Structure 1
Amino acid sequence: MARVTDNPITDAFPESIDIHPGLDASPVLPTELPSVLNRLTEQPRKRRTVAYINVPYCETRCLYCLFYIKPYRTKEESAAYADTLIKEMQLWADKPVQNKEPVHAVYFGGGTPTALEASDIRRVLEAVRKYLPLANDCEITYEGRLSGFGDDKMEAAIEGGANRFSLGVQTFDTKVRQAVGRRSSKEELIQRLTRLMSYSQAAVVIDLIYGFPYQTLETWLEDLQISKDLGLDGVDCYQLRVFERSPLHKYIANGKLPAGPDHAMRARMFREAVFQMREAGWSRLSISHWASNTRERNFYNYYAKTRTDCLAYGPGAGGVIDGFSYMQHRAPDAWIKSVEEGVKPIAMMMRPSKNWELGRAVAEQMELNYFNPSALAKEFSPQLSKAFEPITENWTEAGLLLPFSERYELTVAGQFWQGRMTQHILNHIKNTNL
């Protein structure tokens, strides 16, 4: 339960690193995997669907990142990756799970998708349109860095059909950026963003992160102001998580870098982001995402946290089919070997818990800044209305929720703790055997 204090945004829960909320799942045994996979792939998808394509290469490693797989070195590496990725898309081209129902969003993530050569960017995007049954309004996001993202690559992505770009700016402050392994200066970032927006062919969105070493409230406010002044279509505002396995954790522990802003300052930074975006008239699309106009939709990032199927391609990519989550071989060599043998490169699969759909429905609500036990009760079980009363009463008293008709809106403090609160609800579902 939450602590009832005068300052819920900092004191409602113990400070700790949050993980992605979820319910327990059980592994599918390797001996079972072929039959389970065959059953899942031989039937059309029943849910809204996204596709995730992982590009494993990075020209440099950011100190805070846990997604780094392999350095990018040669053009030949780019071509070989594109060849194999296209072959992987062909593996399920005649399977109902891939070819029957529309795909509503495609996301190229990584890694650094913009590390690929222009010709290969164009090829893989063309393959997506050829082998996936894209919805008419499908959002196709190409993620990456602005460093090395030249005009030729921008134009290749646009010609290939990308209608949304998500760039990992993280911060415009040159000192902060370079301390954590980012290359470009503030001036270079602004110049490249301005160039990308000048094509007027796609939504342009950036990530901003608060909590870096050397970052202050003043530098964070400047990041927000630059984002607004540039006329971007959207901004994601994330809190930095310094995980023990990251190089940044080691740098801080060894005194090579100072720790970033403390918990209280991060809470203030979050609150400032909410107020600044609201004051500028930007719309809240999800817990961390803001849009300046209707061009930005944020389909993939929202859908991926809901009751959605996800088709995965590329080394290290993760997907979901009918609640069964799977991970592909992370090592590029293992991924290539499997594809060349004509086998979908799945390394492991997890069987969902009995309440996985309820859990995803909770996550869907919380991602949109509200919690509605009545709606959950109508869809899943009448007992849910009563089952959640201890939580909603406590969180309302603690200043995390505001009653609004049959549902509860998250306060700014509740929004700051949204991940923690979602996991508490999921734990309650599991512990009360709902």
Structure 2
Amino acid sequence: MDAESKPPAPTTLHDVPDRLLEPILARLMASPLCLARAAATCKRWRRIMGRTRFFLSEVDRVGYRQAPQPRPVAGNYRSRLSSLGGREFVFVPTPPAARYGIKNSHFSLDFLPGGCRKWEVVDTSRSLVLLAKKRKGAWMRRCFPSLLVCEPATRRYQLIPRMEEMKHHRCLGSYLVGTERCTEFKPSGDRRLLDTMQTFKVVCVAYQGHDRLCDDVGSARACIFARKTEVRKGRPETHTWYAERSRCLGYNYNAHLHGADSLHFLGHAEGSLFWSIKGDKECLVSYGGPWLPENFNGTVLRVTDDSAYENVQFVCLQGSTLQIFVIPTVAYLSIGWELHKSLELMEATRGLTGYKEEYFDGSLKVVMTSPKFIVLALENGTWLFSIDLDTMEVAKCNHKTVDHLGILDFPCELPWPPTLRACVGSCVRQGQGPCSHACIC
């Protein structure tokens, strides 16, 4: 051996090629904390973990419902009185998220154009937030709004152009859909994970009155803004608005609205929106998605989805019995419906203060609904009680405590693929403000 030759350098982790290092790092998927620590190790690891295909296996596992996976809810946007007058929305982290170091500043809306005080939250879906520009005047607040969609965790936003031909129509509600995790095939044949900021849809329901009919008879029209280009018959190929009529389900497929207030929003689940129409009989209206069978005789109070398998849940009231029906889905296809939970309210409320058995001789009145709670009262509006939809526990409440049940909360989840807050380079702003779209100093 030549005395001047140097021994070979020891093999290190940096010698492992990307194709072998990627499956090793993928094993950290079960722990968000380990995922963040690995991303902060070096630029190379962060580059590998930032690839969208790194999370494809997780999407496939969730898509085929191999195991329940709670959604990573970071917190809720809540409306409160502002010290400067009016109302403002603040972000309140959930206790698990707070333990991981998530602060309300991470989900601040101060990056919005014109400042956050000019916007109000109207809906959320996964990691995205839908906001409407505040307006003065009662009539202007009812008209078609100016909208914006943003992802607070990455401080990205997109202004939604207004549908000019509908700008003077009354808007019954604005909703955010199309944020489910999905993939698409590239021309090369490989798949890539789509960003929710590329796939979302905004649905605005406008009321159109019929001029030649009396009693304020009209119909609802669903106006959809699709962020992702959809080449279909009758739909534009650019990112703009198009209109569809909502499908009327149940006993009457041609039901009309007797005034704008006769349409009541029930909730959205798995990319579908649900309403009920009040009238001689109450029917269900939806934009996409499954529904209960036509022979169902109860009243639908709320439609939501669970936090694990992402099934569609219908919260219904039949007499004095509260029932939750679930429509299981496999690969986003409906496979039937089943009774998930049932609660006899007369027996469940027997131990509450002020209970009287004759209270249930008449009908019950729905005071408020939310994805987690239902508040019911007697027909005259007295003796309120709430039902926790997760535990089916009942509790006495009053009008002052209703607002504390999370009725006006807008949940916001962590983005997927996850935003890795790891500074591995020099801050371009010397520690003042965000150094990139994915890192806040």
Question: Structure 1 length normalisation: TM-score?
Answer: 0.25
